[in-house]
Amino acid sequence: MNMADGRIELPQGTLDLLILKTIALAPQHGWAISERVQQMSSDALQVKQGSLYPALHRLERRGWIKARWRVTENNRRAKYYELTRRGREQLEAQTDSWRRLTAAVGQILDTA
Amino acid sequence: MISDLLFRLRAIFRRRSVEEELDNELRFHFEHEIEKLMRSGLTREEASRRARLALGGLEQVKEECRDARGVSWLETAIQDLRHGMRGLRRNPGLAILATITLSLGMAASTVVFSIFQAALLRPLPFREAERLVELWETRQERGINQASFTEANFWDVRAQNHSFEEVAALHSYEANMTGAGPAEKVSGSIVTAGFFRTLGVSPVLGRDFLYEEDRGGLDNRVVILGNRFWRERFGGDPEVIGKTLRLDDQVYTVVGVLPAGEPWINEKIYPLFGYRADADRGSWEYAVIGRLAAGVSADSARADLQRIAGAVAQSYPKDAKGLGFNLGSSSEWGASSDTRRALWVLLGAVTFLLLIGCMNVANLLLARGTARQREIAVRIVLGASRARLARFVMMEALLLSGFGVALGLGLAYAALRVMQSLEIPGIPRLADASLNLWVVGFATITALLTGLLSGLAPALQGWVSGVAAALRDSDRQKGSRGQGRLRAALVTCEVALSFLLLVGAGLLIRSFAQLMRVNHGFQTENRLVFSMNMPGSYWKNGVGKQFMDRFFERLSAVPGVIAVGAVSHRPVEGGNPGMGIDSSSQPLGSERRPPWAGWRIVSPGYFRAIGLPLLQGRVFDENDKPVWAERGQPDPVRRVVISNRLAKLIFPNEDPIGKHVILWKGQSGGDAEVIGVVGDSRERGLTSDPTLTVYLPYGRNALTTEFVAHIRGNANDLAPVVRSIVSDLDPNLPVADVRSFQEVVSRSVAPQRFNAILLGVFSGLALLLATTGIYGVLSYSMSRRTSEIGLRMALGASASNILRMTVSQGMRPALLGIGLGAAGAWWLSRYLTTLLFDIKPFDILTYAMVAALLLATALAACCLPGRRAMRTDPAVALRIE
């Protein structure tokens, strides 16, 4: 945790979930994914490029997402990632287990 | 799974475009980041600086992405390969030296393995060869357990057994083929009808023999041809079936041609041999093979045979007393047990040679690694992983062994072709040896192991050495102490392995020398031997005897001919028929087992011609007649000449001349008078003990086929004279197997010579490699110690002090190696015992000579660097520091 600028570093394993969620609605390129994560978490979370791109390639290899080169609105070519069917299943499963995990952790923290 | 695989494959085969995409993707991100930062008011420079910071190390991200894609091991392997090539190209001397070193070892091991594979691993080319067996008669109570079959016993076994799918008998056969061109001697086997079905070989042309054809009473003159015989004598004529051959003046019809196969089948002809009701039960002449019926074990077949033996022994108590049968596997048809042993020894030897090669290459790479220690340390500091660096060194070693095996296979191919074209005798199935899949597979695996083995130490070297230490200049100069020890240990191993090889070679060479020096009994110089096969017509009315006498007369009259003689079986190469023989005064009830002696029919001139000395009594003359009665004649007065050992054995402390012996004791029997005693000889070959021999006189019904002529000058010069005399006397009688007797003897020891030469060459190579190893290690460590030596000299050490120091440093691992090698050789040489003739495996002289040779070579290898160190100029040396 980096307290100095109020940003939280991602716990292990959550980056994959966030990437899947971010591209669930529409295909996105890498830079947009990192921007969106930061935006949607109100700047609390920051994705380091150093871990984003290896994660994207890892997910692609697993077949959860697939990549396609497309032209952006600014007429430049970018690599867009989208969910595959297996990726969508993974997203649901992981969202579910994340919810249960946080609920359980929250419960313990609240009662203590 | 499949998509994963495709993904990886794409990454491998479209590596460039994948890399490009990664590049584009990251650049796209970078540029967006800059734009974003610029929008918030930063200058372009500041924005790009921050963006770069945010991204972290670009190369690192890329590397992690590659890792994430999961193909990096292959990519890095390819990269390592490229680096390895580059590294080798930077140091071509080392690459060439190492490649040559390894290729010599690889070539040697490939040649030996290809012979090994052809002779030992490749199954016999017969259907279900594991069911093939060879059968023998036994007379256990007389200590005989591998005798040939009598004809009658074979027919009984064939008729009465319940264990074999097929049994067949064969007997060697020689005949004069006439009619087409000059008369020629051909050889083959007469076989019973089931012979080829037993082997599981079917003719490629025509048909096999029919069972009806070998029934009694029929006189079927049919013959099947070996493939090579057919190709050479009939030009591969497909219309050969039904044509006739004149063999010993009888007409045979060709019914089939065999497929190409084992050499001993290829070059022969096979006349059919049929059942005879009056078959002989006393003479052991036939080899018998059988194919076990499916599901029948060798043991139950043995029991079955024992049952038959019992019945036969009961019906024919005189001939078949104590009869038994034995069977053995066909696995030794390809190579005898001595050959197998020799091939194992050679395979072991090439393994040692390869190991020495590995150590030499390891030593070279270690030396190079030491020189590059600083560079490696810098790489580590800059972030190269140690594992990667180790892999890189390993890749170099693998590349070297790859080059080594490529060159080695080329050399092996050439060597095999040369050996095959020279038809070097003494190598089993040499013609069949080739670089087939087995051999290439073996070479590939060997190369891989060689690479791993020679790269292991150098690869670990970078791993363990301290970075900081390596970066300090002074330590680089000296090199680490551990490395020095490692390299010395490698030298020790090289010397020890060389010792093993040298001892093996030394023992075989000494044994061969012993073999060459052994007293043959007969003389080999200036003697020509040749064969003439007497056709059937020669056995009637004394025609053959007349021919022989006229031939002797004509040949003896040739100027330069000293003596001429004839014998029934060629010494060393020929067969060895035997008989039980004993003194006739031996008490009847005595339980003594009569000695078994070889018999030979000889002409009176034979002893002089072959150089056997007459020790007592006289040799035969024209009045001595064959021991067999002619048809319708009374028993002849039998006279024999016996060899010295036999005389000593049956007439101990007596004068044998005039004494009587019983020939074929226990069989047909017959009394004979001993008229002479001649020297012993090694009839059965040089490695066998001198034989007990009975010599019988030749005559009208005892013709001989082998002839010997002793002349002044070169024996081979007589060959054309012999041919012209014979063709003068009978143009239809071929002269065959014409050789000088020296050549006969030399051919008989070809396997021993081959083993000795090969092991000699291998150990010579080993010695060379070990020498360069010692030299390399020492000269390198001396060059590292230049400044130390300079200091010592500045402090007053004399040149001879320095030399002594250098030499003692170099000799230490060599001496240790010699000690270890001697111990190893002492332990291993027992496996050579059966290959050695008249030499103990622990032959002190050989060991001492090998130790002296290694010491001298090691000393020489030490002296060069020592002298260089001795001449060190202290002023120059100290300035290096």
pLDDT reading at B69 higher than 80: no
The structure tokens listed for B542 are: 């004394």
Using one digit for the tens of pLDDT, what is the confidence trace for B262-301? 666 777 888 888 887 778 887 778 889 999 998 889 899 9
Q: Tell me the nearest-neighbour CA distance from A103 into chain B, angstroms.
A: 32
Whether residues B68 and A61 touch (CB distance < 8 A) is answered with yes
Q: Which residue has the higher pLDDT, B277 or B564?
A: B564
pLDDT reading at B484 higher than 80: no
Whether residues B55 and A54 touch (CB distance < 8 A) is answered with no
Cα B584 versus chain centre, distance: 47
Q: Which chain B positions have a beta carbon within 8 Å of A76's beta carbon?
A: 28
Nearest Cβ partner for A63 among B4, B29, B54: B4
pLDDT reading at B116 higher than 50: yes
Whether residues A53 and B26 touch (CB distance < 8 A) is answered with yes
Whether residues B33 and A31 touch (CB distance < 8 A) is answered with yes
Share of chain B above pLDDT 70, in %: 91
Whether residues B68 and A50 touch (CB distance < 8 A) is answered with no
Q: Which chain B positions have a beta carbon within 8 Å of A51's beta carbon?
A: 64
Q: Across residues B860-881, what is the average pLDDT?
A: 75
The three-state (H, E, C) secondary structure of B569-596, written as one string? CCCCCCCCCEEECEECCCCCCCCCCCCE
DSSP H or E run through A49: helix A49-62
Chain A / chain B CB contacts < 8 angstroms: 67
Nearest Cβ partner for A49 among B55, B68, B69: B55
Contact status of B23 with chain A (Cβ, < 8 Å): no
The Cβ of residue B246 has, within 10 Å, a number of other Cβ atoms equal to 16
Average pLDDT, chain B: 84
pLDDT reading at B5 higher than 70: no
Contact status of B35 with chain A (Cβ, < 8 Å): no
State the pLDDT at residue B145: 77
State the pLDDT at residue A6: 58
Euclidean distance between CA atoms B598 and A46, whole angstroms:
102
Please, what is the angle between helix A49-62 and helix B58-69, to 10°?
Answer: 20
Euclidean distance between CA atoms B787 and B808, whole angstroms:
19
pLDDT reading at B497 higher than 60: yes
Ramachandran category for residue B572: left, alpha or beta (phi over 0 → left; psi -120 to 50 → alpha)? left
**Using 50, 70 and 90 to split pLDDT, how confident is the model at A4?**
very low
**Using 50, 70 and 90 to split pLDDT, how confident is the model at B867?**
confident
Q: Which chain A positions have a beta carbon within 8 Å of B21's beta carbon?
A: 69, 79
Q: Which DSSP state fits B834?
A: G
Contact status of B72 with chain A (Cβ, < 8 Å): no
**Of the spans B115-129, B369-383, B729-743, which averages the highest pLDDT?**
B729-743
3-state secondary structure of B439: helix
State the pLDDT at residue B72: 53
**Using 50, 70 and 90 to split pLDDT, how confident is the model at A2?**
very low
- Give the residue carrying structure tokens 């044994």: B511
Average pLDDT, chain A: 83
Question: What residues contact residue B56 under an 8 Å CB cut-off, 6+ apart?
Answer: A48, A49, A50
Contact status of A61 with chain B (Cβ, < 8 Å): yes
Whether residues A30 and B28 touch (CB distance < 8 A) is answered with yes
Q: Which chain A positions have a beta carbon within 8 Å of B6's beta carbon?
A: none
Q: Across residues B736-750, what is the average pLDDT?
A: 89
State the pLDDT at residue B839: 85
- Give the residue carrying structure tokens 């599901």: B295
Interface with A, mutate which of B2, B6, B65 (most A CBs under 10 A): B65
Q: Tell me the nearest-neighbour CA distance from B28 into chain A, angstroms.
A: 7
Which residues is A65 bridged to in the sheet? A83
Ranges A72-76, B614-618, B827-831: which has the least confidence: A72-76
Q: Which DSSP state fits B638?
A: -
Strands (E), B612-715: 614-617, 639-643, 660-662, 671-678, 693-697, 706-711
CB B514 within 8 Å of CB B789: no
Question: What residues contact residue B522 under an 8 Å CB cut-off, 6+ apart?
Answer: B571, B610, B611, B612, B681, B682, B741
Nearest Cβ partner for A49 among B29, B36, B70: B29
pLDDT reading at B336 higher than 80: no
- Give the residue carrying structure tokens 């002893």: B607
Q: Which residue has the higher pLDDT, B168 or B771?
A: B168
Contact status of A107 with chain B (Cβ, < 8 Å): no
Interface with A, mutate which of B64, B66, B73 (most A CBs under 10 A): B64
Contact status of A106 with chain B (Cβ, < 8 Å): no
Least CA distance to B27: which residue of chain A?
A78
Ranges B16-30, B225-239, B605-619: which has the least confidence: B16-30
Provide φ and ψ at B171, rounded to 5°: -145, 135
Q: Tell me the nearest-neighbour CA distance from B31 into chain A, angstroms.
A: 10
**Using 50, 70 and 90 to split pLDDT, how confident is the model at B180?**
low
pLDDT reading at B662 higher than 80: yes
Contact status of B75 with chain A (Cβ, < 8 Å): no
Contact status of B60 with chain A (Cβ, < 8 Å): yes
Q: Tell me the nearest-neighbour CA distance from B20 into chain A, angstroms.
A: 12
Contact status of B29 with chain A (Cβ, < 8 Å): yes
Euclidean distance between CA atoms B321 and B113, whole angstroms:
48
State the pLDDT at residue B553: 94
Interface with A, mutate which of B19, B29, B36, B37 (most A CBs under 10 A): B29
Q: Across residues B805-821, what is the average pLDDT?
A: 88
Q: Tell me the nearest-neighbour CA distance from B76 into chain A, angstroms.
A: 17
Using one digit for the tens of pLDDT, what is the confidence trace for B507-558? 988 988 888 888 888 888 999 999 998 888 888 888 999 999 999 999 999 9
Nearest Cβ partner for A57 among B24, B56, B69: B69
Using one digit for the tens of pLDDT, what is the confidence trace for B45-68? 888 888 877 776 777 777 777 777
The one-letter code for the residue type at B134 is E
State the pLDDT at residue B71: 57
3-state secondary structure of B126: coil
Contact status of B50 with chain A (Cβ, < 8 Å): no
Q: Tell me the nearest-neighbour CA distance from B43 into chain A, angstroms.
A: 21
**Using 50, 70 and 90 to split pLDDT, how confident is the model at B604?**
very high
Q: Across residues B596-603, what is the average pLDDT?
A: 91
Q: Which chain B positions have a beta carbon within 8 Å of A78's beta carbon?
A: 25, 28
Least CA distance to B61: which residue of chain A?
A50
Whether residues A79 and B7 touch (CB distance < 8 A) is answered with no
DSSP conformation letters of B520-563 = -SS--TTEEEEEEPPPGGGGSTTHHHHHHHHHHHHHHTSTTEEE
Q: What is the dihedral of CA A38, B50, B32, B60, to 10 degrees?
A: -90
Euclidean distance between CA atoms B308 and B296, whole angstroms:
17
**Of the spans A33-47, B349-363, B597-611, which averages the highest pLDDT?**
B597-611
Whether residues B54 and A55 touch (CB distance < 8 A) is answered with no
3-state secondary structure of B595: coil
CB B503 within 8 Å of CB B667: no
Ranges B42-51, B347-356, B366-375, B403-412: which has the least confidence: B366-375
Euclidean distance between CA atoms B471 and A68, whole angstroms:
48
CB B206 within 8 Å of CB B184: no
The structure tokens listed for B414 are: 């050439």
Cα distances (Å, whole numbers) of residue B589 to B97, B592, B649:
77, 9, 19
